[in-house]
Structure 1
């Protein structure tokens, strides 16, 4: 099953890399179920359970979400490069 990431929550503290500031991601599945999960829950689901996550832009184009790790071992999510200059995950609205 694939999920579409629809919103994010970020820490309020200072972060050198803004991608690491994401704490939770809201999503909706192909079955219509929606929920909010931590960054690490989504990371593990993609990495260890072959989950598929994506975001859509204003025009409905899909961009896949991938797992990544910093040199210090911090696990985070990023999107594939596309033709936009904006960060696809950080451009999402805050989850309620």
Structure 2
């Protein structure tokens, strides 16, 4: 299990029709500091077991995991019974 955990509370989308390639950045506030990293950075942190990421949905914590489609890795949430995709429904991160 990763030693650090952070809530993803916002995303930035790229203009792409594929749902597997739509997220460009994820971000949030951890320890009072706003952060934003690329989707690829988040994927690497998860795969290297450095960070665990989660979202909060209807008061419940849902883990963010790495999935793959046609050779492309992307972030998604674990199945939680809520649709549509929890990550794609997050608000846009401020640009800074």
Give the TM-score normalised by the residue count of structure 2.
Answer: 0.84
Cα deviation, 1:24-46, whole Å, max 9, x if unaligned, reads: 001233x3333000000000001
Contact persistence 1:19–1:90 (CA under 8 A): no
Long gaps (5+) in structure 1: none
Residue matched to 2:42: 42
4+ residue runs of structure 1 moved beyond 4 angstroms? none
The size of the alignment, in residue pairs, is 91
Residue matched to 2:69: 70
What is the alpha-carbon root mean square deviation over aligned residues?
1.4
For residues 41 and 20 of structure 2, the distance between their equivalents in structure 1, rounded to whole angstroms, comes to: 16
Long gaps (5+) in structure 2: none
For residues 52 and 41 of structure 1, the distance between their equivalents in structure 2, rounded to whole angstroms, comes to: 12
Cα deviation, 1:1-46, whole Å, max 9, x if unaligned, reads: 100001000112x32x3231100001233x3333000000000001
For residues 64 and 84 of structure 2, the distance between their equivalents in structure 1, rounded to whole angstroms, comes to: 15
Give the TM-score normalised by the residue count of structure 1.
Answer: 0.84
- Cα offset, 1:50, TM superposition: 4.0
